[in-house]
Amino acid sequence: MLRSQFCAAKPAVCVLVIAMAQVAAQEDGEKTTALRDLLSRIDLDELMKKDEPPFTFPQTLEEFEYAFNEHGQLRHTKTGEHFIFNAREDLHRWNQKRYEALGEIVTQYVYELLEKKCNMTRAIIPVDATADEPSSFIYLSPDALSNPSKLLVLIQGSGVVRAGQWARRLIINQDLDSGTQVPFITRAMEEGFSVIVLNPNENHLEVEKSSKSSTSSTTEHLDEPVEKKERKDDKENKKRREFYEKYRNPQKEMETEWIPIRENGSSEEHVLYVWDHFVAKAAAKHVFVVAHSYGGLSFVELMNHRETEVKNKICAVALTDSAHSMWLQDTSKSTQDWLQQRCCNWVSSSEPLDTPLDSMLTDCPRVSAGTERHELTSWMSFESIFRFFGEVMEAKEDEEIEETSNIVTTRSSSLKSKHLEL
């Protein structure tokens, strides 16, 4: 209303304002056109590659100039310093790629520990895998399937961690004891357990995309109408500009695709598969499980599919900051009751270790792991977990002795009554 009154009173001023707006819009349009022309003449990919170092990194710890000392800590061989993530300032993506390259070397190092220090062997899965299909593996102790007494099953969380690892970050920045499953394996073996180490994140084969798909996409692009092609180019230029500003000169990476491993395409599938083909066939009378983070969810999912078998074979389950949800996973009342009796979840908390914590949901008992760091919960509760298993085992043995005593008493009474009848 005010605007209309102003225009009525000052028609010349209104005409001037409108003319100025038209000139400004024309200038913006010219600037946009000029920017588009400039971007079309610049190969951003080539420009970006000039400042960012290539993604070529050492293949061994020695070449990285790092080594694990006698305390299992990763240190620089010349300076003795911790691993430094920001090796080059303002090149976050390059630093991340370098960290990932070191992580792959660490994974191979942990495999060597499992094989040489723990005397474990690989078992290929699927068990009937052909030579030309994707496959994975788990680790077994020499007596994993033959030990008649006790078996320990270890399940890590999700992410980049592979068999034998709880957290890559801890291995690199803290030590091998806190970040790997080696202490659990050696302690279990000392106490007469056989061991199976799962590998739930090794569930696909990553391969380079075929050139056929890229060729077809190029052909489709050439056949598009001119207007559509220009709109696509504008979008692409904007995307590339934002990408450049965000990462400062990222290099173009190889395009890959994932081929899932048969019957092991996810953590849940993997745990179910290992149960059916290894744990269920093991001779051990008493099976114990340690599952961290997403591994806890995968274990609960196993119970949803194999409830009766799991209840008959597993004595106790130790979860560490488990990601499971009784409600979201639609867990049965009987499974919930069993977990209440046979399971304990050590969760991240500021409370002292083993402090009981209230839960508003129907769930297994929760106690503090003595740390607020999620990745540290398994290591911090290490002693408590084995104490928990020992208590369960003692109670189990007492039950078996009592059952045996009752059977003997019943048989003796039966024989006595028969003798009296005679």
267 flagged as catalytic: no
For residue 36, what pLDDT is reported?
Answer: 64
CA distances to 15, 51, 93, 130, 248 from 245, in Å = 41, 13, 12, 47, 6
The residue ranges of every structural domain in the chain are 48-55+216-260, 118-205+264-399
Q: End-to-end alpha-carbon separation of the chain, Å?
A: 118
CA gap 46, 54 in Å, rounded: 12
> Residue 306 corresponds to which tokens in the numbers above?
């194999």
For residue 236, what pLDDT is reported?
Answer: 66
Contact call for residues 137 and 122 (beta carbons, < 8 A): yes
Burial class (CB in 10 A: 0-12, 13-18, 19+), 296: buried
For residue 242, what pLDDT is reported?
Answer: 54
Q: Which residues of 212-230 are buried (b: 16+ CB within 10 A; e: fewer)?
A: eeeeeeeeeeeeeeeeeee
The second-level CATH assignment, the architecture, of 118-205+264-399 is 3-Layer(aba) Sandwich (3.40)
For residue 311, what pLDDT is reported?
Answer: 97
For residue 359, what pLDDT is reported?
Answer: 73
Q: CB under 8 Å to 72, separation ≥6 — which residues?
A: 175, 176, 177
For residue 214, what pLDDT is reported?
Answer: 45
For residue 386, what pLDDT is reported?
Answer: 98
294-307 tens-digit pLDDT: 999 999 999 999 99
CA gap 296, 188 in Å, rounded: 20
Catalytic one among 178, 267, 293, 381?
Answer: 293
320-331 tens-digit pLDDT: 999 999 989 999
Residue (of 196, 174, 200, 203) closest to 114 by Cα position: 196
Q: Which residues of 347-369 are buried (b: 16+ CB within 10 A; e: fewer)?
A: bbbeeeebeeeeeeeebbebbbb
CA angle 181, 321, 353 (to 5 degrees): 85
For residue 348, what pLDDT is reported?
Answer: 97
235-287 tens-digit pLDDT: 666 665 555 444 444 565 667 788 999 999 999 999 999 999 999 999 999 99
Contact call for residues 256 and 206 (beta carbons, < 8 A): yes
Number of alpha carbons in the 13 Å side-chain half-sphere of residue 112: 7
Q: Which stretches of the chain score pLDDT less than 50?
A: 1-13, 15-17, 23, 45-50, 213-222, 244-249, 408, 415, 422
